[in-house]
Amino acid sequence: MPLQPLKPKLIIANWKMYLGVKESIILARQTSKIKTTNEIVVCPSFVVLPLAKKELGKKVKLGAQNVAWREGGALTGEVSASMLSELGCKYVIVGHSERRSLLNESEVTIREKLKLAVAKKIIPIFCVGETAEARKAGETVKVIKGQLAVLNNLSFDKLVIAYEPVWAIGTGRVPTTEEISDVHGFIRAEAGKSVKNLQIVYGGSVDENNIKKILAVTGVDGVLVGGASTKLNSWKKIIN
């Protein structure tokens, strides 16, 4: 098994639309009290951002789950990069597979979102990952190479790429450590040249039972956690 020594990791919570407003405030407060040497980012719903920021304190960083592909103006229901910046967001998730598949998010809008986030000094957490069909067809690398092409000719001081196989999200299924290591290695070779500070995190059914094994995989700088990040007991174990 490809292993690496343990060092501080980037642990990102994507609360998706799992929690209500009150529940989010409580979990943000509890998160601020967990002792850890890892770097923690919490991405709550837009409506909770200012309230969560207050609870998370200084150490835990705030992230958003999405950003508008235009900077301002007549765009009903959207939230701009400058608004996120004003609210203290340090990170934003861009191109999550749920948005690509359920909301038809295109590579054109993903690229615009990346540009606007960078312009406002918000670090993108850019998501890539293959479907079960693509993996079965042996096309994992081809699909990810295609998704990474949106980064061409963009420049980033700092970028997080999340490898989230679509078939692993919310299913309890996780790739083998070799598979994760191979894909992370490919992403680093492909995107690492143009990004000074690149962190590659794994996402998809991360929980308190598999966290240690995943964080020990060569090339894994951290994790992006959905469901398990919304349950305090699991989340505490993942953070530590």
Rounded CA-CA distance 83/86 in Å is: 5
Binders of ligand 13P in range 93-132 (CB under 6 A): 96
Q: Which of 74/102 has CB closer to ligand 13P?
A: 102
Distances (CA, A) of 178 to 1, 149, 203, 218: 7, 24, 15, 9
Q: Point out which span in 22-30, 31-39, 162-170, 178-186 binds ligand 13P (CB under 6 A).
A: 162-170
Closest CA to 38 of 233, 232, 211, 226: 211
Which residues are paired to 160 by β-bridges? 125, 199
Q: Under the criterion CB under 6 A, does residue 170 sit at the interface with ligand 13P? A: yes
Site string for ligand 13P, 192-231 (x = CB under 6 A): -----------xxxx-----------------xxxxx---
Burial class for 36, CB neighbours closer than 10 Å (0-12, 13-18, 19+): middle
Rounded CA-CA distance 35/65 in Å is: 24
Q: How far is the CB of 43 from ligand 13P (least distance, A)?
A: 8
Binders of ligand 13P in range 17-36 (CB under 6 A): none
The residues annotated as belonging to the active site are 96, 164
Q: Which residues bind ligand 13P (CB under 6 A)?
A: 14, 96, 164, 169-170, 203-206, 224-228
